[in-house]
A = this chain, B = another copy of it.
Amino acid sequence: MTAAIVTPVRRLVVCGAGLIGGSFALALKAAGLVERVVGIGRTRASLERARELGVVDEIALDWPTALAGADVVLLAMPVGQSNDVMAAMAPHLAAETLVTDAGSTKRDVIEAIYAHLDGHLGQVVPAHPIAGAEKSGADAAFATLYRGRNVVVTPLPENDPAAVQRIRALWEACGATVREMSPQDHDRVFAAVSHLPHLLAFGLVHDLAGRANAEQLFSFAASGFRDFTRIAGSHPEMWRDICLANRHALLAELDQYLGELAYLRALLMSGDGDRLETLFGEAREARNRWAEKTFPS
């Protein structure tokens, strides 16, 4: 285990003490790697709840208070707030304070970093923990959320290697596997395997819920529908921000998928059972091979 050689964080600031930020705090607490967690965010009630639950130890109502003596800051609010948050914290950020984030998109977060934290580029390490989040808030946070999960780190060229190493080590102490990639690759990959499926699931439920016979339709939906639409239970603001931040890659994926649907439509129109069966068979094989490897039972 690498946890033994990680220097504990004396003062961790979590901006957005919800599922993602809260679980990071709880995981570091469980690993004995943080002395004090400070929560900051938009909503006083959410912060109070996080303190009640022991997710954070104290609440800060402004950045000067939060950042005084902070050695690590995790930005875990919806990515649409990156510019506002970074602009607000920048004047109070000490040179030695390490900053990282948990945003589901990376190019937009990095743009905000260059815009607002350009005096701190050695110490600001962008990252993205890949953890399911259809529940949200401090109540949903738990210490083992990141165990066995991937965390993607997309270091800046300006990053101090020691800063990158420290962020990696903290995530590894949470039980995660850290993988590095470029922000461009990150945003393209997650447009395909995460952002597009969310869009498709939101769209299907929205489509059906608006029908005159919506109640009848839902009354016959079963477990396949439940699983297919689970991600349509995700946080609307978070997903609005992700879709907007990554819209170029997401549009490219959507268009590629519309091409696939046009092909399927043509097979249905012409009643081409052979090609349908082949396509379904290839999908089944790829899906089951992946699932057996990734989620061994």
A: residues with CB less than 8 A from B are 80, 130-132, 134, 149-150, 152, 185, 189-190, 192-194, 196-209, 211, 213-214, 216-218, 220-237, 239-241, 243-244, 247, 250-251, 254-258, 260-261, 264-265, 268-269, 271, 273, 276-284, 286-288, 290-291, 294-295
Q: Could you tell me the distance between the alpha carbons of A189 and B203 in the complex, rounded to whole angstroms?
A: 17
Contacts of A225 in B (CB 8 A): 193-194, 197
User: Which residue of the partner chain B has the closest CB to A268?
Assistant: B247
Q: A228-B230, A280-B239, A283-B232 are in contact. Are A244 and B271 (CB under 8 A)?
A: yes
Q: Ordered nearest first, which 9 A-B pairs have the shortest CB separation?
A: A209-B286, A236-B280, A205-B283, A240-B277, A236-B281, A193-B221, A206-B283, A227-B227, A207-B260
Contact in complex: B208, A193 (CB < 8 Å): yes
Contacts of A199 in B (CB 8 A): 264
Partner of A234, one of B261, B268, B284: B284
Contact in complex: A204, B244 (CB < 8 Å): no
Q: Could you tell me the distance between the alpha carbons of A213 and B256 in the complex, rounded to whole angstroms?
A: 14
Partner of A273, one of B80, B202, B261: B80
User: Which residue of the partner chain B has the closest CB to A193?
Assistant: B221
User: Which residue of the partner chain B has the closest CB to A214?
Assistant: B286
Q: Could you tell me the distance between the alpha carbons of A234 and B281 in the complex, rounded to whole angstroms?
A: 9
Contacts of A280 in B (CB 8 A): 202, 206, 232, 234, 236, 239-240
Contact in complex: B217, A189 (CB < 8 Å): yes
Contact in complex: B204, A260 (CB < 8 Å): yes
- Closest chain-B Cβ to A236's Cβ sits at a distance in Å of 4
Contact in complex: B205, A243 (CB < 8 Å): no
Contacts of A279 in B (CB 8 A): 202-203, 206
Contact in complex: B283, A265 (CB < 8 Å): no
Q: A240-B280, A251-B265, A290-B221 are in contact. Are A230 and B232 (CB under 8 A)?
A: no
Q: Could you tell me the distance between the alpha carbons of A185 and B287 in the complex, rounded to whole angstroms?
A: 32
